[in-house]
Amino acid sequence: MSWINWFCSTKGNEYYVAVGEDFIEDGFNLTGLAAHAPLYKEALEVILDVEPEDDEMSTKIPDLSLLEPHAKMLYGMIHQRFITTRAGLNQMLIKYQSGEFGYCPRFHCDRTKVLPCGQHDLPRQSTVRLYCPNCKDIYIPTNAKHSVIDGAHFGTTFPHLFVQTFPDVISVVEPKRYTAKLFGFRVSERSKVGPRMGWLRMTPPR
């Protein structure tokens, strides 16, 4: 099994797709990543299952297991770029349609399928979030293994590009807002216990 297939099949990495080696081997696709990836060359060799050409690796890094975190981080940054390509979007579409990313926890979204996203494009800024195309909000994954994934592995562009690319597969329901009531009477928004920031759930007319 290749390193990429091993990584994607590991429990907790269900959000990831397998990036083709031809994409990784194209230097243009990796432009600028070396600045954010320690031990870039060595980590890339791990991802591509390339054996070191000489004994320099053993003298520089005595324990090759130390490269695993760097390889995972670099693969995540490559993954962010890959899933915005046609091939990557199509792979993520399969996962989305099967509900592998989960569903919106908001009751009125009626189990709308969600998409993984990041709040930043650079690593080590925040963990992954789940974007709901219906209420336009983001949520923390309920699975603890998913909640520690770096959000930069999906980035800020992917979910919105996905929605624009596949508008027909997005299960959007009629927008609803919960109405707070006491004995059948609506609670005024001016009340201390009334609804707050309802505008966050409003959808502008088309």
- Residue-wise pLDDT for 27-84, tens only, equals 999 999 999 888 899 999 999 998 766 555 544 555 667 889 999 999 999 999 999 9
What is the domain partition of the chain in residue ranges? 1-82, 100-177+184-206
Q: Which residues contact 152 (CB under 8 A, 6 or more apart)?
A: 76, 77, 80, 118, 120, 121, 122, 123, 124, 125
Could you read off the pLDDT of 99-113 as tens digits, one per residue? 999 999 998 888 999
CA distances to 26, 139, 162 from 101, rounded to whole Å, are 29, 12, 14
pLDDT-derived band at 20 (thresholds 50, 70, 90) equals: very high
* Positive or negative torsion for Cα 180, 115, 139, 98: positive
**Tokens found for residue 137:** 């909000």
CATH architecture of the domain 100-177+184-206 equals: Single Sheet (2.20)
Mean of all residue pLDDT scores within the chain: 88
Which pTM does this prediction carry? Answer: 0.83
Q: What local confidence, expressed as pLDDT, does residue 204 receive? A: 59
Q: What is the four-CA torsion angle of 7, 166, 144, 148, rounded to 10 degrees? A: 60
Superfamily of domain covering 1-82: protein kinase ck2 holoenzyme, chain C, domain 1 (1.10.1820.10)
Do 24 and 78 meet the contact criterion of CB atoms below 8 Å apart? Answer: yes
